[in-house]
Amino acid sequence: MPQSRSAKSGELGFIERINNSGLTGFVHSTFKRTINIHCHENGELFTIASTQIDNGPNTLVIHSPSLEEFNIDVNDAVYVKNNVLHISNKLAIFTNQADKWFSILPEYPANTENINRNLKRMVEYIDIHGKAGGMKEKVVGQSPFEAEMSKLLEERTKLLLEGLLNNRMTSALHHAVSLIGLGPGLTPSGDDYLVGLFMIINLRNSPFYLHQSFCEEVLQNAKNLTNEISYMALKKASIGQVRESVIHLIYSILYGEEEDLFLTLNKVLTIGSSSGTDLALGLVCGLKANLKAGGQS
């Protein structure tokens, strides 16, 4: 008999796919807090997450602090039966009582004074509390390889920002693509940075909202330049879908006070080894571009 767990919450589309028996596949990868499933129907990755992970695109959070206890293996079969998601004969997940969640970004405000103020606070906070090793360079103990990687990340993000600030989108596209797959981590630093940037471009009413096609053009180049897990994050981000903690941070930047900003920013900075910091710096890049395009500096 498989172990059974109920889902605490899940992305609306994922739950609907289970209820419509529209998911068969296999286990793509396993980690302590997440299990990734490759879906035969659309080729996307779906994630089963422990309670230590927040809501996200294609994600189902189940009532378990760790997923190691289920002994799930790569290539285990995944299927739906009677509205229950099964992973081989090891785990059955019930979604009938799960809270349904969907990624919705806030709108960009007409008055950008709060953004200007919070952006300065955010940069200062990341400088002090952000995790080094990706976009933020290590101060000590850096190997020659890490030093070269930091140099490349710094150079390419600077050129990308310059392209965006000066509305040279062809140049910006070239430098954005050069970041894909670059840097350490399961989701490379360059990819995480682009996820943050994509979020800001997808803010309704923002100056760069008209450049949404930029995200799709970057994505078209990403498939063969990075791994499947990171590609899925980029794919979802290109249409404005991201983890709940990141949405809370964006809302705090646009509308929140200092306390809200630091609380939500700190949560994002804890993501991965340096992923949260890399993503947050991508948000900074997009916000600077929006402020410049809107006549702010």
**What's the confidence (pLDDT) of residue 296?**
65
CA 130 to chain centre: 17
pTM of the model: 0.96
- CA 237/CA 231 separation, integer angstroms: 10
CA dihedral 20, 23, 24, 27 (to 10 degrees): -140
Cα 69 to Cα 29, 49, 168: the distances in Å are 15, 13, 51
Q: Are 138 and 145 in contact (CB under 8 A)?
A: no
Locate all alpha helices (DSSP H) within the chain, ordered by sequence. Answer: 12-19, 113-129, 144-165, 169-177, 189-201, 212-220, 228-237, 244-255, 258-269, 275-293
pLDDT at 123: 97
User: Three-class SS of residue 214?
Assistant: helix
Distance, in Å, from the CA atom of 215 to the CA atom of 212, rounded to the nearest integer, reads: 6
First-residue to last-residue Cα distance in the chain:
62
pLDDT of residue 1: 79
**93 beta partners:** 5, 85
Residue 146: per-residue pLDDT: 86
Question: What are the pLDDT tens digits along the chain (297 aa)?
Answer: 789 999 999 999 999 999 998 899 999 999 999 999 999 999 999 999 999 999 999 999 999 999 999 999 999 999 999 999 999 999 999 999 999 999 999 999 999 999 999 999 999 999 999 999 899 988 777 788 888 999 999 999 999 999 999 999 999 999 999 999 999 888 999 999 999 999 999 999 999 999 999 999 999 999 999 999 999 999 999 999 999 999 999 999 999 999 999 999 999 999 998 999 999 999 999 999 999 987 765
Question: What's the one-letter identity of residue 252?
Answer: S
Q: How far apart are CA 188 and CA 227, in angstroms?
A: 9
Of residues 145, 213, 207, the one with CA closest to residue 176: 213
Say if residues 24 and 40 touch (Cβ distance below 8 Å): yes
| Per-residue model confidence (pLDDT) at position 137 | 86
Q: What is the per-residue burial (b if ≥16 Cβ within 10 Å, else e) of 67-97?
A: beebebeeebebebeeeebbbbeebbbbbee
What are the boundaries of each domain within the chain?
3-101, 113-293
